[in-house]
Structure 1
Amino acid sequence: MKLTLFTDYGLRMLMRMASDPARMYSTSELANELKLSRNHLSKIMQQLARVGIVTTQRGGGGGARLAKSPDQLVLGELVRLLEEDHPLVECFAKDGGACTLDGQCRLKARLRRAEAAFLADLDNSTLADIALRPIGKRPE
Protein backbone atom coordinates (compact mmCIF):
# COMPACT_ATOMS: atom_id res chain seq x y z
CA MET A 1 0.00 0.00 0.00
CA LYS A 2 1.09 3.52 -0.63
CA LEU A 3 -0.18 6.38 1.47
CA THR A 4 -0.70 9.81 -0.06
CA LEU A 5 1.68 12.64 0.78
CA PHE A 6 -1.28 14.23 2.58
CA THR A 7 -1.36 11.31 5.01
CA ASP A 8 2.42 11.02 5.23
CA TYR A 9 2.78 14.72 6.11
CA GLY A 10 -0.21 14.56 8.46
CA LEU A 11 1.28 11.66 10.39
CA ARG A 12 4.68 13.40 10.62
CA MET A 13 2.99 16.51 11.95
CA LEU A 14 0.98 14.49 14.50
CA MET A 15 4.08 12.56 15.59
CA ARG A 16 5.80 15.86 16.34
CA MET A 17 2.78 17.26 18.16
CA ALA A 18 2.52 14.07 20.23
CA SER A 19 6.04 14.63 21.59
CA ASP A 20 4.66 17.55 23.63
CA PRO A 21 0.86 17.30 23.43
CA ALA A 22 0.03 20.23 25.70
CA ARG A 23 2.03 22.67 23.58
CA MET A 24 0.61 24.88 20.82
CA TYR A 25 2.29 24.44 17.41
CA SER A 26 2.07 26.88 14.52
CA THR A 27 2.01 25.47 11.00
CA SER A 28 5.00 27.70 10.16
CA GLU A 29 7.00 26.17 13.01
CA LEU A 30 6.05 22.63 12.00
CA ALA A 31 6.79 23.34 8.33
CA ASN A 32 10.25 24.67 9.18
CA GLU A 33 11.07 21.84 11.55
CA LEU A 34 9.78 19.08 9.25
CA LYS A 35 11.01 20.83 6.08
CA LEU A 36 7.55 20.63 4.47
CA SER A 37 5.30 23.13 2.69
CA ARG A 38 3.49 25.44 5.10
CA ASN A 39 0.51 25.67 2.74
CA HIS A 40 0.25 21.90 2.54
CA LEU A 41 0.46 21.54 6.32
CA SER A 42 -2.19 24.25 6.74
CA LYS A 43 -4.64 22.21 4.64
CA ILE A 44 -3.89 19.10 6.66
CA MET A 45 -4.25 21.01 9.93
CA GLN A 46 -7.65 22.34 8.79
CA GLN A 47 -8.89 18.82 8.09
CA LEU A 48 -7.57 17.54 11.42
CA ALA A 49 -9.32 20.41 13.21
CA ARG A 50 -12.57 19.78 11.31
CA VAL A 51 -12.70 16.17 12.52
CA GLY A 52 -11.64 16.98 16.09
CA ILE A 53 -8.11 15.56 16.13
CA VAL A 54 -6.58 18.96 16.89
CA THR A 55 -7.93 22.16 18.38
CA THR A 56 -6.82 25.50 17.00
CA GLN A 57 -6.53 28.97 18.40
CA ARG A 58 -5.95 32.16 16.42
CA GLY A 59 -3.84 35.12 17.40
CA GLY A 60 -0.65 35.63 19.36
CA GLY A 61 0.35 32.47 21.15
CA GLY A 62 -2.10 30.59 18.98
CA GLY A 63 -1.62 27.50 16.91
CA ALA A 64 -2.83 23.94 17.21
CA ARG A 65 -2.56 21.18 19.76
CA LEU A 66 -3.86 17.65 20.00
CA ALA A 67 -7.51 17.51 21.10
CA LYS A 68 -6.95 14.13 22.81
CA SER A 69 -4.11 12.37 24.51
CA PRO A 70 -1.76 10.64 22.00
CA ASP A 71 -2.61 7.28 23.57
CA GLN A 72 -6.27 7.80 22.59
CA LEU A 73 -5.48 8.45 18.92
CA VAL A 74 -5.40 5.13 17.06
CA LEU A 75 -3.17 5.05 13.98
CA GLY A 76 -5.65 3.12 11.84
CA GLU A 77 -8.34 5.72 12.54
CA LEU A 78 -5.94 8.56 11.72
CA VAL A 79 -4.98 6.96 8.41
CA ARG A 80 -8.64 6.36 7.55
CA LEU A 81 -9.40 10.04 8.20
CA LEU A 82 -6.43 11.35 6.25
CA GLU A 83 -6.95 8.94 3.33
CA GLU A 84 -10.73 9.46 3.25
CA ASP A 85 -10.80 11.20 -0.13
CA HIS A 86 -8.00 9.07 -1.60
CA PRO A 87 -9.21 5.52 -2.32
CA LEU A 88 -6.66 2.76 -2.80
CA VAL A 89 -7.96 2.09 -6.33
CA GLU A 90 -10.51 3.86 -8.52
CA CYS A 91 -13.31 1.37 -7.94
CA PHE A 92 -13.15 2.07 -4.17
CA ALA A 93 -14.21 5.69 -4.77
CA LYS A 94 -17.53 6.71 -3.26
CA ASP A 95 -19.04 7.00 -6.73
CA GLY A 96 -17.57 3.66 -7.82
CA GLY A 97 -15.14 5.30 -10.24
CA ALA A 98 -15.10 4.49 -13.92
CA CYS A 99 -13.73 0.97 -13.81
CA THR A 100 -14.69 -1.00 -16.91
CA LEU A 101 -14.19 -4.32 -15.09
CA ASP A 102 -16.95 -3.75 -12.55
CA GLY A 103 -19.01 -6.89 -12.08
CA GLN A 104 -16.31 -9.20 -13.43
CA CYS A 105 -13.24 -8.17 -11.42
CA ARG A 106 -11.84 -10.73 -9.00
CA LEU A 107 -9.16 -8.37 -7.68
CA LYS A 108 -11.42 -5.92 -5.85
CA ALA A 109 -12.33 -8.25 -2.98
CA ARG A 110 -8.69 -9.19 -2.44
CA LEU A 111 -7.65 -5.55 -2.36
CA ARG A 112 -10.42 -4.79 0.14
CA ARG A 113 -9.16 -7.58 2.42
CA ALA A 114 -5.55 -6.39 2.09
CA GLU A 115 -6.54 -2.80 2.87
CA ALA A 116 -8.61 -3.96 5.86
CA ALA A 117 -5.68 -6.05 7.18
CA PHE A 118 -3.30 -3.10 6.78
CA LEU A 119 -5.62 -0.78 8.71
CA ALA A 120 -6.42 -3.44 11.32
CA ASP A 121 -2.70 -3.76 12.05
CA LEU A 122 -2.46 0.02 12.47
CA ASP A 123 -5.44 -0.17 14.83
CA ASN A 124 -3.09 -1.95 17.27
CA SER A 125 -0.97 1.19 17.72
CA THR A 126 -1.57 4.72 18.90
CA LEU A 127 0.04 8.05 18.20
CA ALA A 128 1.81 7.71 21.57
CA ASP A 129 3.62 4.64 20.20
CA ILE A 130 5.20 6.65 17.38
CA ALA A 131 5.59 10.09 19.00
CA LEU A 132 8.89 11.74 18.20
CA ARG A 133 11.28 12.01 21.09
CA PRO A 134 12.22 15.54 22.08
CA ILE A 135 15.25 16.71 20.12
CA GLY A 136 18.47 15.61 21.77
CA LYS A 137 16.89 12.72 23.72
CA ARG A 138 17.89 9.16 22.96
CA PRO A 139 15.84 6.03 23.66
CA GLU A 140 16.54 4.45 27.05
Structure 2
Amino acid sequence: MRLTSFTDFGLRVLMRMAGTPDRAFTTAELAQEFAISRNHLAKVISALAAAGYLETRRGGGGGAVLSHLPEDIRLGDVVADLEAGQSIVECFLPDGGSCTLMPQCRLKSRLAKAEKAFIADLNKSTLADCLYRPAPAD
Protein backbone atom coordinates (compact mmCIF):
# COMPACT_ATOMS: atom_id res chain seq x y z
CA MET A 1 0.00 0.00 0.00
CA ARG A 2 1.24 3.45 -0.84
CA LEU A 3 0.26 6.47 1.23
CA THR A 4 -0.32 9.87 -0.32
CA SER A 5 2.21 12.62 0.30
CA PHE A 6 -0.61 14.38 2.16
CA THR A 7 -0.69 11.56 4.73
CA ASP A 8 3.09 11.32 4.78
CA PHE A 9 3.41 14.98 5.73
CA GLY A 10 0.53 14.67 8.18
CA LEU A 11 2.43 11.97 10.04
CA ARG A 12 5.63 14.04 9.91
CA VAL A 13 3.84 17.05 11.39
CA LEU A 14 2.46 14.97 14.24
CA MET A 15 5.81 13.30 14.94
CA ARG A 16 7.60 16.66 14.92
CA MET A 17 5.08 18.23 17.29
CA ALA A 18 5.11 15.22 19.60
CA GLY A 19 8.89 15.49 19.89
CA THR A 20 8.61 19.04 21.25
CA PRO A 21 5.18 19.11 22.89
CA ASP A 22 5.78 22.27 24.91
CA ARG A 23 5.63 24.66 21.96
CA ALA A 24 3.37 25.71 19.12
CA PHE A 25 4.52 25.36 15.51
CA THR A 26 3.60 27.67 12.65
CA THR A 27 2.80 26.40 9.19
CA ALA A 28 5.60 28.51 7.73
CA GLU A 29 8.13 27.09 10.18
CA LEU A 30 7.19 23.47 9.46
CA ALA A 31 6.99 24.05 5.70
CA GLN A 32 10.54 25.41 5.75
CA GLU A 33 11.78 22.55 7.92
CA PHE A 34 10.19 19.93 5.65
CA ALA A 35 11.11 21.84 2.47
CA ILE A 36 7.57 21.75 1.07
CA SER A 37 5.00 24.29 -0.05
CA ARG A 38 3.46 26.32 2.76
CA ASN A 39 0.06 26.10 1.01
CA HIS A 40 0.23 22.32 0.84
CA LEU A 41 1.23 22.07 4.49
CA ALA A 42 -1.56 24.46 5.49
CA LYS A 43 -4.06 21.99 3.99
CA VAL A 44 -2.43 19.12 5.90
CA ILE A 45 -2.55 21.05 9.19
CA SER A 46 -6.15 22.05 8.52
CA ALA A 47 -7.10 18.38 7.98
CA LEU A 48 -5.28 17.33 11.16
CA ALA A 49 -7.12 20.04 13.10
CA ALA A 50 -10.48 19.07 11.58
CA ALA A 51 -9.84 15.44 12.57
CA GLY A 52 -9.13 16.56 16.14
CA TYR A 53 -5.39 15.86 16.29
CA LEU A 54 -4.32 19.51 16.46
CA GLU A 55 -5.49 22.74 18.00
CA THR A 56 -4.66 25.87 16.06
CA ARG A 57 -4.39 29.47 17.27
CA ARG A 58 -4.15 32.57 15.10
CA GLY A 59 -2.16 35.71 15.69
CA GLY A 60 1.02 36.48 17.57
CA GLY A 61 2.18 33.50 19.58
CA GLY A 62 -0.19 31.33 17.57
CA GLY A 63 0.45 28.11 15.75
CA ALA A 64 -0.57 24.49 16.10
CA VAL A 65 -0.20 22.11 19.04
CA LEU A 66 -1.26 18.52 19.63
CA SER A 67 -4.80 18.12 20.96
CA HIS A 68 -4.00 14.83 22.68
CA LEU A 69 -1.05 13.18 24.33
CA PRO A 70 1.13 11.30 21.81
CA GLU A 71 0.35 7.99 23.52
CA ASP A 72 -3.36 8.59 22.83
CA ILE A 73 -2.97 9.07 19.06
CA ARG A 74 -3.09 5.78 17.12
CA LEU A 75 -1.18 5.76 13.85
CA GLY A 76 -3.80 3.73 12.00
CA ASP A 77 -6.50 6.20 12.93
CA VAL A 78 -4.41 9.06 11.58
CA VAL A 79 -3.76 7.23 8.32
CA ALA A 80 -7.43 6.27 7.95
CA ASP A 81 -8.52 9.86 8.58
CA LEU A 82 -6.02 11.41 6.17
CA GLU A 83 -6.51 8.77 3.47
CA ALA A 84 -10.33 8.99 3.64
CA GLY A 85 -11.65 9.31 0.12
CA GLN A 86 -8.53 7.76 -1.43
CA SER A 87 -9.27 4.43 -3.08
CA ILE A 88 -6.55 1.81 -3.41
CA VAL A 89 -8.27 0.48 -6.54
CA GLU A 90 -10.88 1.89 -8.90
CA CYS A 91 -13.69 -0.39 -7.74
CA PHE A 92 -13.46 1.14 -4.23
CA LEU A 93 -14.63 4.50 -5.62
CA PRO A 94 -18.15 5.51 -4.53
CA ASP A 95 -19.48 4.95 -8.06
CA GLY A 96 -17.68 1.59 -8.36
CA GLY A 97 -15.47 2.78 -11.19
CA SER A 98 -15.68 1.16 -14.59
CA CYS A 99 -14.25 -2.29 -13.92
CA THR A 100 -15.63 -4.86 -16.33
CA LEU A 101 -14.84 -7.71 -13.93
CA MET A 102 -17.56 -6.72 -11.48
CA PRO A 103 -19.61 -8.32 -9.98
CA GLN A 104 -17.70 -11.59 -10.46
CA CYS A 105 -14.39 -10.18 -9.16
CA ARG A 106 -13.21 -11.75 -5.93
CA LEU A 107 -10.20 -9.46 -5.50
CA LYS A 108 -12.15 -6.54 -4.02
CA SER A 109 -13.05 -8.34 -0.79
CA ARG A 110 -9.46 -9.49 -0.31
CA LEU A 111 -8.13 -5.97 -0.82
CA ALA A 112 -10.70 -4.61 1.64
CA LYS A 113 -9.54 -7.14 4.25
CA ALA A 114 -5.89 -6.25 3.60
CA GLU A 115 -6.63 -2.53 3.98
CA LYS A 116 -8.39 -3.15 7.30
CA ALA A 117 -5.49 -5.32 8.49
CA PHE A 118 -3.03 -2.56 7.51
CA ILE A 119 -4.89 0.03 9.59
CA ALA A 120 -5.32 -2.42 12.48
CA ASP A 121 -1.60 -3.18 12.50
CA LEU A 122 -0.72 0.52 12.48
CA ASN A 123 -3.14 1.00 15.38
CA LYS A 124 -0.89 -1.22 17.50
CA SER A 125 1.44 1.80 17.60
CA THR A 126 0.91 5.33 18.84
CA LEU A 127 2.51 8.62 18.00
CA ALA A 128 4.55 8.22 21.20
CA ASP A 129 6.27 5.24 19.55
CA CYS A 130 7.50 7.52 16.75
CA LEU A 131 8.63 10.69 18.50
CA TYR A 132 11.04 12.86 16.56
CA ARG A 133 13.49 15.08 18.35
CA PRO A 134 15.78 17.18 16.20
CA ALA A 135 19.48 17.18 16.96
CA PRO A 136 20.53 20.17 19.07
CA ALA A 137 22.06 23.06 17.15
CA ASP A 138 25.78 23.59 17.63
Instruction: With the length of structure 2 as denominator, give the TM-score of the two structures.
Output: 0.92
Q: Do 1:22 and 1:66's aligned partners in 2 also have CA atoms closer than 8 Å?
A: no
In the alignment of these two chains, the number of paired residues is 137
SS of the aligned residue for 2:12 comes to helix
Q: Distance in 2 between matches of 1:134 and 1:99?
A: 47
Q: Distance in 2 between matches of 1:22 and 1:69?
A: 11
User: Which residue of structure 1 lines up, in the alignment, with residue 130 of structure 2?
Assistant: 130
1:67, CA displacement in angstroms? 0.5
User: Which residue of structure 1 lines up, in the alignment, with residue 59 of structure 2?
Assistant: 59
1:94, CA displacement in angstroms? 3.0
User: Which residue of structure 1 lines up, in the alignment, with residue 42 of structure 2?
Assistant: 42
Gap runs ≥5 in structure 1: none
Q: Distance in 2 between matches of 1:53 and 1:34?
A: 19
Q: Distance in 1 between matches of 2:60 and 2:26?
A: 10
Gap runs ≥5 in structure 2: none
Q: Distance in 2 between matches of 1:95 and 1:135?
A: 48
Determine if the alignment matches structure 1 residue 31 to structure 2 residue 48: no
Kindly provide the amino acid, as one letter, of the partner of residue 94 in structure 1.
P
1:52, CA displacement in angstroms? 1.1
Q: Do 1:17 and 1:65's aligned partners in 2 also have CA atoms closer than 8 Å?
A: yes
Determine if the alignment matches structure 1 residue 98 to structure 2 residue 62: no
Determine if the alignment matches structure 1 residue 83 to structure 2 residue 71: no
| RMSD of Structure 2 on Structure 1 (CA) | 1.5
